Structure 1
Amino acid sequence: MGAFDTPIGRRAALGILGSGAAAGLAACGSGPPTPKSASVPSSVSGDAVTALLAAVPKRTIKDLNAKRLADGLTPPTNRWFSGLVFGDDPQAVFPMPIGFAVAETGFEIWLPQVSANGTSIIGARAGGLTCVIDSASVSAMVIGYDVASVAVELRDGEDALAELRLVQGSPTVSLTARRDLTVAAPVVYERAGDAWQVTVEGTLYGLVGADSVNGTSATIASGSTVTWFAAPPGGSVADLAEKVAPVTATGVTWELADDDVTTTLRFDGGPTLLTALPHHSLVDAGEQFGAYDTVLGEAGLFSVETLRWTSKRWPIEPSLDLSGLGSDDRKALAEQVAADVAAAPTYPTDTYFGGKALYREAMLLQIATAVGADDAAATITGRLTDALTTWTEPAGADRRATQCFVYDEDNRGMVGLEPSFGSDEFNDHHFHYGYFLYAAGVLCADNPDLTAKLSPVLDLVAADIASPTDTGDFPQFRPFDVYASHSWASGTAPFADGNNQESSSEGVNAWAGLALWARARGDEGLEQQAVWMHALESAGALAYWLQPETRAGFDHTVVGIGWGGKRDYLTWFSPDPAAILAIQVLPASPSHGYLAAAPDKVPAAVTEALQGEAYGRQYTDWVLLYSALAGGDGAASAVDQIAAVTDKLDDGLTLSYLRAFLLTR
């Protein structure tokens, strides 16, 4: 059954309306934020989740050092601004199109100067406007956040100086003074109509709302709000100043249709200046007022209250469609399934490789069922059921050290034991947990009793990565960035280049798994949300990782790691070009239809990955699979190469799945 035939129907809408977004702002000096609310109830929000947590052991595996987070806020791991919160010193962040950093005596904003070399597209920190506040010794505290903005309080010791607002998509930074302030720039301001302007190393900045400006200094009365903004190349501060309005909160709603999803990102306080990234297929944006060069490409500038865009909706499926295979292919697959079942290794006990193994088995189960390999199907069903039952025992961590989950009360999330790749620091949770949810969604699709048995923990796992609201137990959409339309993988983002994500395809897999689990669960609201997230993450994966429009000087067809401030042709685990492509392809699930969005771009990526060598080295199994998406005789040619990769199969892949995938192209 395809995603378009689910109980969601032909058209549905779900709103996360931003009342909680405003709550993040209400938290600015006024205690804990008000919980957010959704228009469609979900099993992974509110009192239901709080009740489930009562049965799970509580344990903090690692102190994440959230030293710059106000009391009462849910720790914002895996966000574009996480580097402001965690670690000994605040990191630079990139709300787009500007960069921002806290300085010893104030703060700095800049327009990244974008260039490319052979392996990176880099947004250099140059031409920045440094704002010095009363010669104070400045520290920072995050005091509120919502879906696309963050409030940062600047302090001198224990005394509040000002509240700053950073907004994704905005070239502005707004400051509300908490006492009478003088803020100095590095150069002299000049009058520009009703505003003021300065030029720093060729970058033009405007200032609106100041009580008075004298030379390099702006005077701001307590309670007043001023806004700095970076003008686009060729832009006029005088013309743009009247379009600048401080954003007070943000929120998001979405709508699902048969073929696409529409996202509306709302900016309260507008209309104001906002930018659209290359993947934003805007609806009713109106006149454009220039453009910025970013590491993601050109970002157009508009004066709007909302950014509204459409993204293609891709089917979310539990299995490959093998109905068109002939009898010979079905027989060969049945024999291969039996061999793969017999040769399957013991399941790993960590959350990444363990979850990946469960997903691999779920795919094998679907193939076995489809080709009539009943004995193999029964074997897989039994061991997959046993493994998921073990992992989802609510109090399992009281009895064993692995294959269980605990709830981290300090950092507000589920941590699987044993952790891997820094998952105890909240790295990669969506990668890991997407595999669990996908496997469970497949196994439980027609088994309500098993669904009920597994749901007390799997609902918490789902809430960890995709809570539709911030209830205090979990943050909203933990890794998922609506504006950027992709996820962030680092829990604390301890990097000068911002947060990052490597495996765009595992990001997509997370929301496919979430949708299948929600479907098995009968949770219409969560399934709607997952379909929306899946569409946006697919669009982001195509635009910025797998089939990006890059720039002269960057010599590659794909991107390995996307950061807030740069893009790299590499991986965390291998410099091999085959690995760089593979990590944007695996696990190539039945819900990864977007991989074939542009068949004409596939051959160049495959050629680059192989580097003139034959199939057979590590990671080329995924390259071979991807090659089948080129159209023409690509799939038939790939089938002939299966033997070459047999001895180098990834732990998330079986020969049965590889052959079935190729035969169904």
Structure 2
Amino acid sequence: MRPARRTMLAGLPLGLLAAGMTGCKDRGAASAPSSPAFTAEEVDASMTALPPLPEPADLRALRLGEGLVPPTNRWFSGLVFGEEPQPVHPLPLSFALVDGGFTLGLPTVVTSERTLMGGNSPELEVAVDGAESALVTAYDEASVTMTLRDGSGIDLATVTIAEGWPCVALRASTGLDLTLSAPFAGEDPPTLAVGPHTYALALEDGSLDGAACHVASGGTATFLALPEGADAAHLATLAVPLESTALTRSLTEDAATTTLTYTTAGNGPTAIAAMPHHGADPSADDVLGTYPSVYGTLVLREATELTWSAPRREARAALDLSGLDDAQREELAAQVALDVPALLDYPADTYFGGKALHRDAQLLAIAEQVGAEGPAAALRERVLTQLRRWTEVGAAAERDAFCFAYDRTNRGVVGLTPSFGSEEFNDHHFHYGYFLYAAGTLAADDPELAEEIAPVIDALAADIASDAATDMLPVRRVFDAYASHSWASGTSPFADGNNQESSSEATTAWAGLQLWARARGNAELEELAAWLLAHEALAARTYWTDFDAADPVYDGFAHQVLPLQFGGKRDYATWFSAEPAAALAILVLPLSPSSDHLADDPERVRRNVAEGTASGGFDQQYGDWLLMYSALGGDEERDAALEAARDLADEHLDDGNTRSYLLAWLMTR
């Protein structure tokens, strides 16, 4: 379905922002901080139980410091992997490592009919005398630190960037001369205008003479991008080198809350830019300025913390058919009897193989609820046999398909046979989310089955979601807390940054993780999964399906959805098809029983469907997913979709769907 990745509106519940000192936080929005879901000992045991991957992919982690876990699926992965470093996009800035130093700049956002472009903007170059190499030597929740070295491998300086931080901070390890691409002028602070943008420089133990800057050993030079009309003198006092960032998460019955703490040298406040989903008010009295970005207007405030909330979403193992009438149940039973014998052999790769398990687990749940006893018995044997095949712990030592191994070089679980670049850590949450959802569904009332398959399913859960500090896996491999969504590319070999397309498969992954945690009786993991699902769903609506067209960034954009999101670009495009139906389908499939976030704005659903079906109606590839999504537009739309679904040609049913599930999903709207 996808090639290898070489790699707010009415009804939209935005996050609640409290950015500032502790006393400014909305204390009613959060419960006590959540407990970790994984321990290092559990993660290490899960990974060592799997056979080693025989031939790990060479991801070319050429710029990674010793002792660090390879940071796949991060917003900054392009700094680490590949022959040459790629630019990265720590909003509001862009940043790039170049020969002898680095560049930074505020992107100029250009909107066209199909694309929002805000790519790398090297408006200011900083040449570091003697620098010949750079390594990523530290990273955490939102920040990354690089070390610049001379030809002998001696450290010259560290350079720190962070999401939401309008600064780049250099700390000299020795007396250091910098050459700037243009001279700064003035004092308190010195500034540089480049086109429409202005940059300030805050020096500690340093001196400046136009474009020549000297920083003493231990001194710092912090470059700050100023918002239009900002108080440069005040903002320069906030341009304090960043030491680290950290995350705290919590849950209430209704909301999942995140706090990112930005710790500076001296523990003073800094300036933090909030994205639209963080819920900031651009007109608030304490706003220091705003920046345009491809994701919408960013709001800058003086703060030590950024806090926001997302509405909780319910994870459901299966459709609830208890409200159907006798005629509907009879129709579904008859359809199940047709669908089960028509199922094809299971695919061997982790994407289509997992997708088929998820499909069959949902079909089984329907069969058992409508009393289709014969087909249900046959399907239960089929799907459990296949699930047990995938979850044989040592199988990868004996065969090359339908099994998982541990990649000791790149630090993660890789399925055999891989697909869509999964051996390079592309799309793991998409693939493994289907396994987690199927396992959570099948083991929901079967603790013995849960215990039997746990060694491998727990390993898949850890691969994408572990929050333990261990050298076996990165922390929450795919999930970006600041952006509140996942990144799909393992190594991010793109000048536009990392990317994600299928926001719906991402939410399915976290719903599946929650169902698996529930089947295992693991309250801490269930809480982590609920937090992930809530935030991924918020971001999916804010940036993929229900974006706020009133934001100036969308002026001139001619489409209702944005399927392909990069760090510095957003495209009305997909990796696999130019058809409008595909652009919408990839944002809604597999319409699991937990896809409630797609239904929040019925009017937007109707507009999205009108665009997605404009060139071929529902009688085309992905027509089944579009019919299901269209039912979220209202009762009339649901009734029409159900009638059309009965006559939809078999060729328009996706391999991850069945007509039984299509009909049952529509009947339960």
Report deviation, 1:302.
Answer: 0.5
Residues of 1 paired with 2:576 and 2:613: CA distance?
17
Offset, 1:470:
2.7
Cα-Cα RMSD: 1.7
Match runs of 1:76-87 below 5 Å: 76-87=71-82
Is 1:150 the counterpart of 2:149? The answer is no
1:294-443 paired onto structure 2 within 5 Å: 294-443=293-442
**How many angstroms does 1:51 deviate by?**
2.2
Q: Which of the numbers 271, 274, 277 marks the counterpart of 1:276? A: 274
Amino acid at match of 1:274: I
1:223 aligns to what SS in structure 2? strand
- Quote the offset at 1:286 in angstroms: 7.3
1:282 Cα deviation from its structure 2 partner: 5.1
Q: Match for residue 231 of structure 1?
A: 226
Please give the alpha-carbon distance, in whole angstroms, between the structure 2 residues aligned to 1:392 and 1:478.
21
Aligned to 2:170: 175
Partner of 1:618: 621
Shift of residue 48 of structure 1?
2.1
1: CA distance, partners of 2:573 / 2:183? 43
Counterpart in 2 of 1:595? Answer: 598
Question: How far apart are 1:377 and its partner, in Å?
Answer: 2.2
What residue number does 1:19 align with?
Answer: none
Deviation at 1:229, TM superposition (A): 0.8
Matched, 1:45 2:39: yes
Higher relative contact order (CA 8 A, sep 6+): 2
Among 50, 63, 71, the residue aligned to 1:56: 50
Residue aligning to 1:119: 114
Residues 12, 418 of structure 1: CA spacing in aligned structure 2 closer, same or farther, 3 A cutoff?
farther
Shift of 1:612: 4.4
Contact 2:94 2:119 in 1 (8 A): no
Partner of 1:32: none
Summarize deviations over 1:617-658 as a string: whole Å, max 9, x none: 111211111110111311001011111343211111111111
CA contact (8 A) 2:504 2:590 kept: yes
**2:93 corresponds to 1:95:** no
Where in structure 2 are the equivalents of 1:627-646 lying within 5 Å?
A: 627-642=630-645, 643-646=647-650
| TM-aligned CA distance change 1:152 to 1:127, over 3 Å | closer
Distance (whole Å) between structure 1 residues aligned to residue 221 and residue 475 of structure 2 = 29
Of residues 538-547 and 54-63 in structure 1, the stretch that sits farther from structure 2 once superposed is: 54-63
Q: Residue 185 of structure 2: which of 190, 204, 208 is its match?
A: 190
1:558 corresponds to which of 553, 557, 561: 561
Which stretch of structure 1 is more off in the superposition, 572-581 or 119-128? Answer: 119-128
Alpha-carbon distance in 2 for matches of 1:525, 1:192 = 52
Aligned amino acid, residue 231 of structure 2: S
CA deviations on 1:28-82 (whole Å, 9 max, x unpaired) are: xxxxxxxxxxx34x3x432123223333111243111111111111110000000
Distance 1:12 1:620 in 2: 42
Query: In 2 relative to 1, CA 126–414 (structure 1 residues): closer, same or farther, beyond 3 Å?
Result: closer
Q: How far 1:283 sits from its partner (Å)?
A: 10
C-alpha distance in 1, partners of 2:32/2:586? 32
Provide the C-alpha distance between the structure 2 equivalents of 1:267 and 1:52, rounded to a whole number of angstroms: 32
SS of residue in 2 equivalent to 1:635: helix
- What is the DSSP-based 3-state SS (H/G/I as helix, E as strand, rest coil) of the residue aligned with 1:627? helix
Determine if contact 2:48/2:406 at 8 Å carries over to the other structure.
no
Distance apart, 1:100 and its partner CA: 0.2
The structural deviation recorded for 1:524 is 0.8
The reply on whether 1:605 has 2:603 as its aligned counterpart is no
SS of the equivalent of 1:268 reads strand
Q: Percent identity?
A: 47
- Is the Cα contact below 8 Å between 1:263 and 1:309 reproduced in 2? yes
What amino acid is aligned across from residue 142 of structure 2 in structure 1?
A
SS in 1 for 2:592: coil
State the 1:239 CA deviation: 2.6
TM-score for both structures, normalised by structure 2 = 0.92
Residue of structure 1 in register with 2:582 after alignment: 579
Q: Give CA deviations for 1:297-339 in whole Å, capped at 9, x if unaligned.
A: 0000011111000111111111112221111001101111121
What's the offset of the Cα at 1:209?
2.2
Identify the residue that residue 458 of structure 1 maps to in structure 2: 457
Conserved 8 A contact 1:504-1:545: yes
In structure 1, the residue corresponding to 2:242 is in which secondary structure?
Answer: coil
How far apart are 1:537 and its partner, in Å? 0.3
Distance 2:594 2:132 in 1: 48
Shift of residue 115 of structure 1?
1.0
Distance in 1 separating the partners of 2:144 and 2:326? 59
Q: Does the Cα contact within 8 Å between 2:131 and 2:148 map onto a contact in 1?
A: no
Give the CA deviation at 1:127: 6.1
Deviation string for 1:220-257 (max 9, x for gaps)?
A: 11111221110012223223112222221111111111
Paired with 1:360 and 1:13, the residues of 2 have a C-alpha distance of: 37
Deviations 1:376-401 (A, max 9, x none): 22222211111111111111011111
- Residue of 236, 239, 245 corresponding to 1:244: 239
Q: Which residue type is aligned with residue 57 of structure 1?
A: P
- Checking the alignment, whether the CA contact within 8 Å between 2:140 and 2:245 is kept in structure 1 is yes
Written as runs of structure 1 = structure 2, the 5 A alignment for 1:10-25 is 13-15=32-34
Measure the CA separation in 1 of the matches of 2:145 and 2:638. 51
Contact in 1 for aligned 2:107/2:119 (Cα 8 Å): yes
Q: Structure 2: give runs of 5+ residues left out of the alignment.
A: 1-28
Q: Residue 307 of structure 1 aligns to which amino acid in structure 2?
A: L
Judged with a 3 Å threshold, the aligned counterparts in structure 2 of structure 1 residues 349 and 12 are, in CA distance, closer, same or farther, namely: farther
Q: Across the two proteins, how many residue pairs are aligned to each other?
A: 629
Q: Which residue of structure 2 aligns with residue 658 of structure 1? A: 662
CA contact (8 A) 2:56 2:409 kept: no
CA gap of 1:11–1:291, structure 2 versus 1, over 3 A, is closer
- 2:476 equivalent in structure 1: 477
What is the DSSP-based 3-state SS (H/G/I as helix, E as strand, rest coil) of the residue aligned with 1:222?
strand
**Aligned pair in 2 of structure 1 residues 449, 543: CA closer, same or farther (>3 Å)?**
same
Unaligned 5+ segments in structure 1 are: 1-9, 16-38
**Counterpart AA for 2:518:** R
Say if 1:113 and 1:125, in contact at 8 Å, map to a contact too.
no
Moved more, 425-434 or 278-287: 278-287
